[in-house]
Structure 1
Amino acid sequence: MKAEEYPFVQELITNKKGQVLKVVLDFEEYQRLLDAIEDEGLYRAMQAVSCETPFNINQALEELDKP
């Protein structure tokens, strides 16, 4: 396994058997990956509720007041 084979990877840290233990990334690339993961999570959450009818303001406030 070579770091060049993986996008964003600067270095792979392996054990004696060659198994990857850690991955070194440029901080900006790490931030981009986090942003992509967060975007995917938001997309999935939006898809999960896409068929629901939205509340009006009074219904939303009532829901917030429920224990």
Structure 2
Amino acid sequence: MKTKTLPFAKEFITDSKGHITKIIMDFDDYQRFLDWVEDEGLVLAMNEVENEASMSLEKALNELEKK
């Protein structure tokens, strides 16, 4: 991975072959990164069920209990 694709990283820790194994970043940047990952996951989940019919909370809970 190219370091230019990791603008939030302050430092890189590499193995003996020069491959990045860890990064050091500011905690605030880390929090923003986590928020972005969660938002992306939510968007993907919403897109996945976009064409499904909605159901009541009671029916949804019953469906979950079946699994």
What value does the CA root-mean-square deviation take over the aligned residues?
A: 2.7
Larger Rg: 1
Which TM-score applies when normalising by structure 1?
0.73
1:55 maps to 55
Unmatched segments (≥5 aa) in structure 1: none
Identity %: 46
1:40 maps to 40
Within a 5 Å distance, the mapping from 1:1-67 to structure 2 comes to: 5=4, 6-57=6-57, 59-60=59-60, 62-63=62-63, 66=66
Unmatched segments (≥5 aa) in structure 2: none
Q: List per-residue Cα deviations over 1:6-51 (Å, max 9, x = no partner).
A: 3111101123332212100101101111110110000010011110
Displacement over 2 Å in runs of 4+: 56-67
Task: Count the aligned residue pairs.
Answer: 66
